[in-house]
Structure 1
Amino acid sequence: MDNAIIYARSAGNSEQQVKRQRKLCRSYLREVGLTEVGFVAEYGHPGRGLSVVVNAAASKGATEVIICDLSRLGRTSLVNLKNSNLLEEAGLTIHVAAGIVSGPVTDDDIRDKMLLFAETDLNTLYGDDVTER
């Protein structure tokens, strides 16, 4: 069984949102047979929390990082790509636990399609304003 770190992020300060994300990620872990070895929560823009994920993964032998949806790594394509690359360069496979498309992100093409779906979800929820908050 592979070890995984759960990463949850709330653009605001919503503890409820972080708890909901963690619950969805834990459900996904059980479904695919991964073992949770760490949890990182971040509030605001993605950044320092991702460094914590990378360090925790290295110290705990995790090879997977689970996020609720791809927009947790950033709501704009450029930010999302930068953060996805950071995790991938650390040897972590990104898994998306919920949304229209879920599962492991195994290549750039899949990531791009997942991001398009995530942006569509955000537009549905928040209108045209999908910029970082």
Structure 2
Amino acid sequence: MAIETYKVSVNHKISDKDYHIKVRDFNLTLSSEPNDFHVNTYETILEALGACESIVMASFNKQKNFKYNSLYYTLVGNQNKTGLSDIEVTVHFKTNESKQKCAEFVEFAENTCPVMDNLTHTVPITRTEVSTVH
């Protein structure tokens, strides 16, 4: 499999509680504190996990012979001083499949989801540069 590279830039001013993110042609804003205008970084982790597993399910349901009409996730992250201490995930299917087959399909999605893999295994991070602007 070929390596794909993704690039994100984050801009922040010390007087601001918002973090401005650029991903390709998309501009996003995250907040360091929960507010009515922007999600925070912990919510973004939960969003990424739920979306990634949903994408895996939509991509592999035919191959795995699993039929569903719709699904939705509820994800709850509990924060401690240094980050999320745990994440609780509930998957709700609209399907005629058995509960056992649903559980097996969810387990497959969890084992295939790159976000889950990154949350549960150490991903090497290399700082390539620190620069200053005066």
Which TM bucket (shorter chain)?
under 0.3
TM-score, normalization by structure 2: 0.27
The answer to which structure has the higher strand fraction is 2
TM-score by length of 1: 0.27
- More contact order relative to length (CA 8 Å, sep ≥ 6): 1
